[in-house]
């Protein structure tokens, strides 16, 4: 048994049992991938994959039992390297962060600025992507930290900490009829076409729920991934915008008016997510602490590595 065989088992599952993709991912020949799988099965004395001819269709029961063990072994192998780097290269290295456009643009800039001033020799790699992709990147060990409002707070194999709460805001062009509606109501908003986030992004589910709870049918004429796009089309008069409140800047968005909408939509929580068992360098812990000072090193390590599983 060797590490290459274990990597092949893991990648075969990740690549939906497509051995061509496994070979490409691991920079090896497909014939070599097949041989490694067969050699490991012969050594263990059990079949790990369900087959139809030469095609792999899924995992056998032994394969399903083996997979989490393989994941732990490969994760701890990476942890050994990170731990060694922690002592050999304390203030230099690489930190990978996955987050949404909204967080990257409006919540994280002060944190990133402070981090880079403190750790100038750490390369910060920022992935902007959707919540589901953030979860996938964390699970694959391709990023150290994930920050998002959706998805990450409900996954059992991730440890998630509340970062901060925020609310949605309603924006309209100057002179729009809604500027005369005080207090603003969901009924009044629903009378106009709406422009807001795609489903699954930036609290969209809470927007939909707010209208649905009052039996209101909305006409969402456009949806986008980020607030800047939404604001552009609201300014053109194509609809009323519903965005994250932090994305509105009075000076930058001079042609738009933000309406008082407190209490119309539920508060949203943005989460900081980590993969269980993933060893974090000290500078990664400092980044998290810069986001939320109550997230101390002790609290994070106790959550990521329960007492029964230390590094």
Q: Provide the CATH number for the domain around residue 19.
A: 1.10.10.10
Give domain status of residue 310, yes or no.
no
Q: Is the dihedral of CA 73, 75, 79, 81 positive or negative?
A: positive
pLDDT at 172 > cutoff 60 = yes
Indicate the burial class of 147 (C-beta count within 10 angstroms; 0-12, 13-18, 19 or more).
buried
Mean pLDDT in residue range 109-137: 94
Look at residues 39, 55, 81 and tell me which one is the last residue of a structural domain: 81
**How many whole angstroms separate alpha carbon 181 and alpha carbon 252?**
24
pLDDT class of 307 with cuts at 50, 70, 90: low
Span between the terminal Cα atoms of the chain, in Å: 23
Residues 189 and 253 in one domain: yes
If you average pLDDT over residues 73-87, what whole number do you get? 76
Q: What SS3 state is found at 274?
A: strand
158, pLDDT greater than 50: yes
- If pLDDT is split at 50, 70 and 90, which confidence band does 310 have? very low
Mean pLDDT of the chain: 90
Average pLDDT over residues 75-99: 80
pLDDT at residue 306 in the model: 67
Count of Cβ atoms closer than 10 Å to residue 264 Cβ: 21
**What does the pLDDT read at residue 230?**
96
Interatomic CA distance for residues 274 and 19, integer angstroms: 29
In a domain, 143, yes or no: yes
Q: What's the structural domain count of the chain?
A: 3
Rounded CA-CA distance 29/161 in Å is: 42
Q: What is the mean pLDDT of residues 79-99?
A: 80
Q: Are residues 204 and 57 in the same domain?
A: no
Return the percentage of the chain with pLDDT > 70, whole number: 96
The verdict on residue 68 lying in a domain is yes
Please tell me whether residues 232 and 172 are part of one structural domain.
Answer: yes
Contact between residue 225 and residue 271 where contact means Cβ atoms under 8 Å apart: no
- CA angle, 44 as apex, 40 and 46 as ends, to 5°? 100
3-state secondary structure of 252: coil
Write out pLDDT tens, residues 185-195.
Answer: 999 999 999 99
Last residue of a domain, one of 55, 81, 107: 81
Distance (Å, rounded) from C-alpha 84 to C-alpha 150?
Answer: 34
176 part of a folded domain: yes
Q: Which of 259, 263, 271, 245 is nearest to 166 (CA)?
A: 245
pLDDT score for 274: 95
Q: Is the pLDDT of residue 291 over 80?
A: yes
pLDDT score of 11: 85
Cα distance between residue 286 and residue 265, in whole Å: 33
Question: Are the CB atoms for 243 and 227 separated by under 8 Å?
Answer: yes
> What order do you get walking across the sheet with 194-197 strand by strand?
220-224, 194-197, 240-244, 168-173, 256-259
Same domain? 74 vs 103: no
Instruction: Say yes or no: 157 and 274 in one domain.
Output: yes
Q: Tell me the mean pLDDT in the region 204-232.
A: 95
Instruction: Return the SS3 of 270.
Output: strand
Q: Are 290 and 154 in the same domain? A: yes
Among 40, 63, 81, identify where a domain stops. 81
Question: In this structure, are 157 and 276 located in the same domain?
Answer: yes
Q: Are 273 and 160 in a shared domain? A: yes
Domain that holds residue 134: 91-164+269-304
* 251 within a domain of the structure (yes/no): yes
Q: Specify the DSSP class assigned to residue 149.
A: S
Say if residue 147 is in the same domain as residue 285.
yes
Find the mean pLDDT for residues 227-232: 95
Task: State the pLDDT confidence band at 144, using cuts at 50, 70 and 90.
Answer: very high
Tokens of 285: 């812990």
Q: Could you tell me if 11 and 22 are in contact, meaning their C-beta atoms sit under 8 angstroms apart?
A: yes
What is the model's pLDDT at position 311? 47
Task: Give me 53's structure tokens.
Answer: 């001819």
Residue 56 belongs to a domain: yes
Which CATH number is 224's domain given? 3.40.190.10
Output the pLDDT for position 76. Answer: 80
**Residue 309 pLDDT more than 60?**
no
Structural domain contains residue 309: no
Are 196 and 48 in a shared domain?
A: no
pLDDT at residue 176 in the model: 96
Residues 160 and 196 in one domain: no
Q: Say whether both 133 and 203 belong to one domain.
A: no
Determine, yes or no, domain membership for 262.
yes
């Amino acid at each position: 048994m060797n590490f290459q065989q274990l990597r092949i088992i893991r990648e075969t599952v990740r690549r939906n049992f497509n051995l061509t993709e496994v070979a490409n991912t691991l920079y090896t020949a497909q014939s070599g991938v097949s041989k490694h799988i067969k050699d490991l099965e012969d050594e263990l004395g059990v079949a790990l994959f369900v087959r139809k001819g030469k095609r792999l269709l899924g995992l056998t029961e032994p394969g399903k039992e083996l997979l989490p063990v393989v994941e732990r072994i490969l994760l701890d192998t990476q942890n050994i390297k990170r731990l060694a780097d922690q002592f050999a290269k304390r203030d230099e290295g690489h930190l990978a962060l996955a987050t949404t456009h909204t967080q990257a643009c409006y919540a994280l800039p002060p944190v990133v600025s402070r981090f880079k001033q403190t750790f100038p020799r750490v390369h910060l790699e920022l992935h902007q992507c959707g919540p589901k992709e953030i979860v996938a990147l964390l699970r694959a060990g391709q990023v150290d930290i994930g920050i998002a409002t959706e998805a990450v707070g409900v996954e059992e194999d991730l440890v998630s900490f509340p970062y901060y709460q925020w609310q949605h805001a309603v924006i309209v062009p100057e002179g729009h009829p809604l500027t005369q509606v005080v207090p603003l109501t969901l009924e009044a908003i629903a009378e106009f076409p709406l422009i807001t986030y795609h489903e699954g992004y930036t609290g969209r589910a809470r927007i939909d729920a707010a209208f649905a709870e009052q039996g209101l049918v909305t006409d969402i004429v456009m949806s986008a991934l980020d607030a800047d796009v939404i604001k552009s089309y609201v300014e053109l008069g194509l609809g009323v915008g519903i965005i994250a409140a932090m994305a509105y800047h009075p000076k930058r968005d001079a042609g738009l008016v933000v309406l008082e909408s407190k209490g119309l939509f539920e508060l949203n929580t943005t989460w900081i997510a980590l993969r269980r068992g993933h060893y974090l360098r000290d500078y990664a812990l400092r980044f998290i602490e810069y986001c939320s000072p109550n997230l101390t090193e002790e609290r994070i390590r106790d959550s990521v590595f329960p007492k029964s599983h230390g590094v």
